[in-house]
Amino acid sequence: MNINMIPAKDLDYYIGQNDFVIIDLRRKEEYEESHILSAINIPYEEWEEQFPNLDYKKQYILYCERGGSSLLAAKELLKNGYHILSVIGGFQAYRGNKKTSNL
């Protein structure tokens, strides 16, 4: 089984689509500062306790800061039968619409 990797520029296509859930694996503080529109935050440190609560009917797109943690999380989900996409280069590679704090 291989993990489907997508370039960060393709994320805009998935924003707001009901069948896809975008998950930001960065720390809460990083997420609150800026994140991809419609992404939910599950910090990587909490990943193992949170991923069993995910819906098998959804497809998940994972990203972290640079792509390493999201790849590890994607491998775990794939082993457990989830449909996964992982973002090449992570948040650092994304140049599309972001939600940012008003600091």
Catalytic residue among 21, 64, 71, 74: 64
Active site residue 15: no
Using CA atoms, how far residue 36 sits from 1, 75, 78, in Å, is: 27, 22, 23
Structure token pair of residue 96:
């599309």
CA–CA separation, 78 and 29 (whole Å): 27
- What burial letters (b/e) apply to 1-16, b meaning 16+ CB within 10 Å? eeeebeebeebeebee
CA–CA separation, 70 and 85 (whole Å): 9
Active-site positions read: 64
